[in-house]
Amino acid sequence: MIDQFFLWCVSVLEVIGEVTGMGYELANIVIFVILQPVLIILFFILWRNQINKNNRFKKFYNQNNERFR
């Protein structure tokens, strides 16, 4: 089962390499050495920005609610 999945993944990388003209090895490097880390960093930054926005909203909301109590 795992062997079949691995061979399918290799086939997909080979197709990507052929279609783009990069070859299997370069497609593998581009996907797993360049794109994956960039996406991880991008989503981490977006996640932290959303947390900061949420914290600012909570702080603003709590300040405004205390005035009316």
Looking at residue 63, its pLDDT comes to 74
Comparing C-alpha atoms, which of 6, 4, 5, 27 is closest to residue 15?
A: 27
| Average pLDDT value over all residues in the chain | 91
Is residue 67 pLDDT above 70, yes or no?
no
The answer to whether the beta carbons of residues 28 and 13 sit under 8 Å apart is yes
Sort residue 54 into left (φ over 0), alpha (ψ -120 to 50) or beta: alpha
Distances from the Cα of 4 to the Cα of 1, 8, 9, 43, angstroms:
5, 6, 9, 31
Question: Which amino acid, residue 36?
Answer: Q
